[in-house]
Chain A
Amino acid sequence: MQNPDDILSIEDLTIHYETDEGSVHALNEVSLAMKRGETLGLVGETGAGKTTLARGILRLVPSPPGVIKQGSVFFEGQDLLSLSESKMRSIRGSRISMIFQDPMTSLNPVMTVGEQIQEVVEAHNRDLRQDEIIRQANAMLEMVGIPAERSHEYPHQFSGGMKQRVIIAIALACNPVLLIADEPTTALDVTIQAQVLDMITALKKRLNTAMLLITHDLGVVAQNCDRVAIMYAGQIIELGNLDDIFKRPTHPYTRGLLGSIPSLTKDVKRLSPIKGLMPDPTDLPPGCKFAPRCRFVTEACERAMPEPTHLSETHQVRCILAEAEVRNG
């Protein structure tokens, strides 16, 4: 059931980590599609499976212990999960790139930043001449706001925000169709975060790159994304555009998340947190994964996992209370 407009279409992707302590159900039947040029925010707390999903798309889940149990990842019409390793390698970094969270550890400390960008350009364009590689790498550096003269410097000579810019330059060097950004600004201060996010948004617009933006910060999502997927215990429990999620949040977990954030614009005397903790991923409840923490839990919730219900063309949610509402009009 692929839509020809989608550049990425994930179906029923399930990834487990087989460990001595048992099988960690990191990702459970996740389905998701992305269109060219759009920004999709992937939100969830620690352990929700955001990073496993991102790595799953790029086939970077360490194995062992990671096992892809089922599902497919269609990207530009081909199933990435059935490609050979060398084919996959030619896609990584050129058609799909990834930015990792920690700018301090993603760069090679003994290579100049210029060399690190050139390396990517060269790896994906084997027949380019050396001066052309350098020219392209310098152009990328200028594009992220770093003067090309600094290409001879080493990562330790750059601040955190500058390092993250270098990483963005590397990620965009081959003009990818899809950029996966895993908490790209979490390690940065807010004023620097604002600079970096503005820059990413401007660049992706210019290059018409789609972006999967992984974050735990709903503020970053509201200011930068077109659509939002909320993850909980390895599943997407609510998916919609910004208005769906922020104005008509339906899943009790989404509502709980929004109630947990201290507001800058309203006066709230007391926060309304979600009680309890995320379930143990080696021992997930059989029904709705959120049921043990849910204020509206019913007996039926604990029996079977609710299937995604479409509330509108853009908005879907996995909750039987929403299902009932839709059925009763």
Chain B
Amino acid sequence: MADVLLRVEHLKKYFDTPGGTLHAVDDISFDLNRGETLGVVGESGCGKSTLGRTILRLYEPTDGTVYFENQEITSLSNKSMKVLRRDMQIIFQDPFASLNPRMTVSEMIAESLLIQKIFTRKQGPQLRARVTELMDLVGLSSKLINSYPHELDGGRRQRIGIARVLALDPKFVVCDEPVSALDVSIQAQILNLMQDLQDEFGLTYLFITHDLSVVKHLSNDIIVMYLGQMVEKAPAKELFSHPMHPYTRALLSAIPVPDPDYAVDRVLLKGELTSPIDPVPGCRFAKRCPFVTEACTKADIPLREITPGHFVACILV
């Protein structure tokens, strides 16, 4: 039996907007095993960041349940949730916006240790030793200990974000586009660091990104989201070798591959993402789908297991 760390069941997050109810996350379920990485891909506005935040209860779910180590966390009090947050952390996309411009590197890393009462202010020497250890772990030179965020480049800022998370020795980390703002050579450094830390500490990642090559590189399983719904879920290799949902196929064929001989049969989509406000029943991708039939817009399309571990929400498959 696989060791399930996180179980998400029928999770929904709706927002009330002046234009109607926005279905940001609409009935998502999955299991995530300890030590594995689940990639979540989709275009802007598909609900992937909302999914990550709702799992951590940074947004309160509209409906559905989340189990963490077999404990239901959706109904926990804020107090119990705060204790649990040691185990469940998040790395944000923009390392500049998520750091306090008036705190030094060491203050920011120490802050998470103090908030979670792992150390108290009185334990100065131990606290400093731990901060230095963490900086070393994420590859931040100790001479940066008194630097401010504006003095650092994007890669180093993201290393601070990672050190703050590691400080708490978490089990589960939501990584919300952690390398999207970085240049490719720096991006590769950070991805390698995240892999090393996962191996060393047995971390479990929910890796949210719009970059399909990054997600293929890191993930065991991948979820493809479209307008709040999961349209396909499969092991990484399987998804890239046998994509089944027309949206996944279009998404994969749209990636520019850095190889001039690489020829793809482009599935060029018409139009753009429609709005997830008060969606009508039926497949949400139907309007852009090149293979749309009448049946597609009649009723909601359930997710079906086509081959073991490969789930698709499309009636044509």
Interface residues of A (CB under 8 A from B): 45-46, 159, 161-162, 189-195, 197-198, 216-224, 242-243, 246-247, 256-265, 268, 270-275, 277
Contact = CB atoms under 8 A, between A and B. Distances in A.
A259 B191 CA distance: 13
Interface string B257-268: 111101000101
A298 B84 CA distance: 53
Leading 7 A-B pairs by shortest Cβ distance: A219-B256, A273-B188, A262-B217, A260-B188, A189-B43, A194-B254, A45-B183
A261 B257 CA distance: 10
B297 interface: no
B272 A273 contact: no
Given A190-B212, A257-B184, A264-B240, A222 B257 contact: yes
9 contacts: A195-B268, A197-B256, A198-B266, A216-B184, A246-B258, A246-B259, A260-B185, A262-B191, A273-B187
Counting contact residues on chain B (CB < 8 A from A), the size range is 35 or more
Interface string B166-209: 00000000000000000111111101100100000000000000
B255 interface: yes
B255 A219 contact: yes
B268 A264 contact: no
B192 A271 contact: yes
A211 to B, nearest CB: 16
Nearest to A241: B260
Contact of B214 (A243, A247, A258, A262): A262
B184 A243 contact: no
Contacts of A271: 188, 191-192, 217
Given A261-B213, A262-B217, A264-B240, A219 B183 contact: no
A119 B29 CA distance: 52
Contacts of A242: 260
Contacts of A270: 192, 195
B262 A265 contact: yes
Contact of B185 (A246, A268, A274): A274
B216 interface: yes
B293 interface: no
Given A222-B260, A261-B184, A264-B216, A159 B251 contact: no
Given A220-B256, A222-B262, 10 more contacts: A46-B183, A189-B273, A190-B251, A194-B254, A219-B255, A257-B184, A263-B217, A271-B192, A273-B186, A275-B189
A52 to B, nearest CB: 17
A295 to B, nearest CB: 13
Contacts of B272: 159, 161-162, 192
Contacts of A190: 43, 210, 212, 251, 254-255
A35 B189 CA distance: 37
B254 A262 contact: no
A220 B240 CA distance: 20
A193 B252 CA distance: 13
Contact of B258 (A46, A195, A221, A275): A221
Contacts of B192: 270-271, 273
Given A189-B44, A195-B269, A270-B195, A265 B183 contact: no
A198 B185 contact: no
A74 B210 CA distance: 41
A270 B192 CA distance: 7
A191 B187 CA distance: 22
Contact of A265 (B184, B259, B266): B259
Contacts of A259: 188
Contact of B256 (A45, A46, A217, A243): A217
B278 interface: no
Contacts of B213: 261-264
B155 interface: yes
B257 A219 contact: yes
Given A189-B43, A198-B268, A222 B184 contact: no
